[in-house]
Structure 1
């Protein structure tokens, strides 16, 4: 009820931020060579062409899903962002090769905790695109999701800003 009153006076919800889970160059999702990500079907966000070889928790969160193959992790942040971090494209086909998982479903992780390590060069050498899409899967709950595209980020640099409706 109070939220509706605030909105009637032009006041919006909180502004939430998500930090970079990996270092690299940030590109828009539309440039990802996978239509599921490029069209925003799974949510809005950005992608990183990684220079790093590990994925860290971009915020304090609960691990909702982590694939045993190590190629993806889903988090629910304490602020309510449902985040998917997907390491590479079609890398599920590697069946865990070149990935080391450091978290389990149900874990409470803190910003900066290592979730996944991977051998970027070995994955690329096998012909896989190592681009890392980072999505806010509950994007519809926010009035805007904006990412820092066209820049290089290091781990824990601000990456995404989400404004609640």
Structure 2
């Protein structure tokens, strides 16, 4: 072995690819089109939004639920490999004080969730009338720990279709 062999050996860092699935059925839209600068300017992270057609919000991946807002319009989830997601139904929906949302996931029993497990049921017709927007951002909040995000487009079914590939 010569003295240069260690110099030329590079440590191979393995890149993990994690698929994030649709938490709600609908059509994927660019995050920049969400009518709230907190999301459109990527202040809280990067991702996509969904213009929903469904009435359930499911876990977009296996993970640990960190928090479900008291008003049931949003929740956070952390994947087993450390990706932090934030799912937020609509814009200014916190002002509805929980009207139109029913929590289906009991955090008191367990905070571990499986992809596709129902977290929140909603009254889409009511929310279309009362919310500023029903666009539903799905955000990676710890983007500083992410190498790359590939965003999908088109119509998606909750818990079935991928919306993001996250390279970590």
TM-score (norm 2): 0.88
Runs of 4+ in 1 over 6 A off after TM superposition: none
* Partner of residue 147, structure 1: 151
| Structure 2 CA distance for aligned equivalents of residues 72 and 30 of structure 1 | 19
What does the per-residue CA deviation read over 1:25-51, in whole Å, with 9 as the maximum and x for residues that have no partner? 001100110000001111110000000
Correspondent of 1:121 among 120, 125, 140:
125
Task: Give 5+ residue unaligned stretches, structure 2.
Answer: 1-9
Structure 1 residue 96 displacement after superposition = 0.4
* Partner of residue 38, structure 1: 40
Structure 1 residue 127 displacement after superposition = 4.4
Task: Give 5+ residue unaligned stretches, structure 1.
Answer: none
Structure 1 residue 79 displacement after superposition = 2.8
What does the per-residue CA deviation read over 1:110-138, in whole Å, with 9 as the maximum and x for residues that have no partner? 11110011111101112431110000111
Correspondent of 2:95 among 90, 93, 96:
93
Partner of 2:12, secondary structure, is: helix
Do the aligned partners of 1:45 and 1:146 also contact (CA within 8 Å) in 2?
Answer: no
TM-score (norm 1): 0.90
Partner of 1:5, secondary structure, is: coil
Of structures 1 and 2, the larger Rg is shown by: 2
**C-alpha RMSD of matched pairs (Å):** 1.4
The count of residues paired between Structure 1 and Structure 2 equals 156
* Partner of residue 49, structure 1: 51
| Structure 2 CA distance for aligned equivalents of residues 24 and 159 of structure 1 | 11
Cα distance, 1:5–1:108 mapped onto 2, change above 3 Å:
same
| Structure 2 CA distance for aligned equivalents of residues 87 and 137 of structure 1 | 16
